[in-house]
Amino acid sequence: MKFRSCNNTGNRFVDVCSTKGLKQAEWSRIAPRWRRAGHGLCFEGQCLNKECEAYRHTVIMPIGYQKFDILIDTDQETTICPLCKYYVEPVACGFSNCWWRYEGIKICNSGPPKRCSSDWKHADDAYHRFDENPSEHVTWRKLIFEVVKKRPNLEPMELPTTLSRPSPG
């Protein structure tokens, strides 16, 4: 589903620039089958298939470790209900056991579109998710997530303080 906002087109998605909506949830052994997160990036959205057990429930769609463009890469094969396999429009995201960052262009209520990005953030062994409260959603012209398993090089590699001596020959 695409939404229009003041003659600007894009996708409605949670405002990942605002970390106040980022919540941490511990793992549950009793979560419904449609609420099972995987490691790395996960998207959340509502299943609209009337025949599905998860109909009108927020489902979790594990994506894993990769670079993902929310406006281009969402389709009937990537963002689907884990039960019925029907397309689900992602509206929020979550992360676990990974390092992640984003870059995007969001449409502001007043003024020109705004470029934004983040430094690398770490999600430990819990589910770190953005609240899907519709009041916290914005329209994105561009939103790309980069999610990796291992800590990325956050700073350029420093040279060792002492150089290795060549072995005698």
Q: Between these two residues, 112 and 6, which has the higher pLDDT value?
A: 112
Would the pLDDT of 126 be above 70? yes
Model pLDDT, residue 103: 98
Full DSSP string of 24-65:
EE---SS--GGG---SEEEEEEEB--TTSTTBTSEEEEEEES
Residue 104 in tokens: 């995007």
Task: Give the pLDDT mean for 97-116.
Answer: 93
How far, in Å, CA of 168 to CA of 81, rounded? 63
pTM, entire model:
0.83
Would the pLDDT of 109 be above 90? no
Model pLDDT, residue 79: 98
Would the pLDDT of 161 be above 60? no
Q: State how far the alpha carbon of 117 is from the alpha carbons of 17, 56, 126, in Å.
A: 8, 32, 23
Would the pLDDT of 132 be above 60? yes
Model pLDDT, residue 135: 61
The winner for highest mean pLDDT among 104-118, 123-137, 148-162 is 104-118
Would the pLDDT of 19 be above 90? no
Model pLDDT, residue 155: 56
Average pLDDT of every residue of the chain = 86
